[in-house]
Amino acid sequence: MAETIFSKIIRKEIPADIVFESDTVLAFRDISPQAPIHIIIIPKQPIAYTTEIDGKKDASLLGDLFDAANLIAKEQGIDKTGFRIVINNGINAGQEVPHLHLHLLGGRKLSWPPG
Ligand code: 5GP
């Protein structure tokens, strides 16, 4: 996978407001938040796009990502009010950083459908 800004955040070469870290997952506040709570949750292993995910091989990692999202939502106090998890994949979805990531958004009423 190509080097991205998230690779540098994983290696702690550039600062980020990290809210969760495990052996497999890192989560930090988005630099340009679109909601009062906007956290980026990434696998530490190099997966650029959802199309690279092998459901069986990566099942444990996917579980880790969603476990982290639920834990963070609870810690941030948005588990009861609700939140949105978004994965932008590829050009038409506006994915800017080619390193798989979940956006965890909450803290306000979110409109639907997204743009
Ligand atoms: P994408 O558009 O790829 O789904 O989302 C990438 C997200 O990463 C954007 O919401 C953007 O604000 C965030 N982002 C990009 N560069 C940085 C950075 O250096 N630090 C942090 N904390 N977030 C970043």
Amino acid at 42: I
Residue ranges around ligand 1 (CB below 6 Å): 5, 16, 28-32, 40, 88, 94-97
Domain limits of the chain? 5-106
Among candidate residues 38, 99, 101, 103, the one labeled active-site is 101
pTM beyond 0.95, yes or no: yes
As a whole number of angstroms, the longest Cα–Cα distance in the chain is: 37
Domain 5-106 fold:
HIT family, subunit A (3.30.428)
| Share of residues in the chain with pLDDT > 70 (%) | 99
Angle 66-70-74 (CA atoms, 0-180°, nearest 5)? 165
**Residue located nearest, by CA, to atom 21 of ligand 1:** 31
Pairing state of beta strands 18-21 and 25-29?
antiparallel
**Residue located nearest, by CA, to atom 24 of ligand 1:** 31
DSSP SS3 for 24: coil
User: What does the pLDDT look like over 54-92, one tens digit per residue?
Assistant: 999 999 999 999 999 999 999 999 999 999 999 999 999
